[in-house]
A and B are shown apart, each in its own frame.
Chain A
Amino acid sequence: MSFEICRAIRADHPSLAGHFPGAPIVPGVVILDEVAAALAEWRENCHLTGIRAAKFVLPLEPEQPFTVCITAAKGAKTDVDFCCRVDRRVVVEGRLEISCGAI
């Protein structure tokens, strides 16, 4: 059970002007927000309740297309694994804790 979607953070994203001036890098939390949005697309009634681990391996640049892959974690119903890649290179990966049902 897994879900994959392609995303990119546009160069005019409001966070980029100040993160950082003249050297825009997509903030890690903005990438995680995209992962959370992908999760909501995959499982409509699920939302994020925690991040067991997220490792930011490489910087993501504005306009750089990346794939978000979410997989049901083995052995824990409330967990999903995620990985964001540019081409085949991992940008961010980790494990999320989710809750499904009414918020």
Chain B
Amino acid sequence: MPIDKAEICTLIPHAGLMCLLDSVLKWDDESIVCTSETHRDPANPLRRDGRLSALHAFEYGAQAAAVHGGLRARLAGVVAPPCYLAALRDAHLRVTRLDEIASRLEVRAQRLFGEGGNTIYDCRVSAGDVLLADGRITIMLRT
């Protein structure tokens, strides 16, 4: 059963329109695949002058990683600690804007390293077979 938006929003601290992902298609201990159509929403809170830069793919990726952390914590019977996006590396923007992408986004995050609050994820945001943005994000405990 896919996990829907209402459940996603209980797993991460992001609220309202900043809860960007619509569903979790699948996940396991190492990875998660989410979808979203919010990139085309005129009310997307990350738009600047009406445009949604491809940069924001990494916020989608970071939220997928946060949802993954929340799901893993829930399975372990604990509460995920508050974390933040600490670093972004080797990130490529294959397009300039996301709001012009007609189909839904698929947001994949693969845990490369780390546990709990200090983890590195490989993130890939694509639409159909087209890769839009990819990079590595570091998530750290908020102290």
Q: At the interface, is chain A mostly helix, strand, loop or mixed?
A: mixed
Name the distance in Å between B117's Cβ and chain A's nearest Cβ.
15
> Per-position contact with A for B91-103: 1 when CB-CB < 8 Å, else 0?
1110010000000
Residue among B45, B55, B62, B85 making CB contact with A14, cutoff 8 Å? B45
Name the distance in Å between B139's Cβ and chain A's nearest Cβ.
11
Q: At the interface, is chain B mostly helix, strand, loop or mixed?
A: mixed
Interface size classification for chain B: 20 to 34
A59 touches B84 (CB 8 A): yes
Count A-side interface residues using an 8 Å CB cutoff: 31
| B121 on interface, CB distance cutoff 8 Å | no
A interface residues (Cβ-Cβ under 8 A, vs B): 13-15, 17-21, 25, 27-30, 32-33, 36-37, 47-56, 59, 94, 97, 103
B interface residues (Cβ-Cβ under 8 A, vs A): 13-19, 43, 45-48, 53, 55-56, 58-59, 62, 84-93, 96, 135
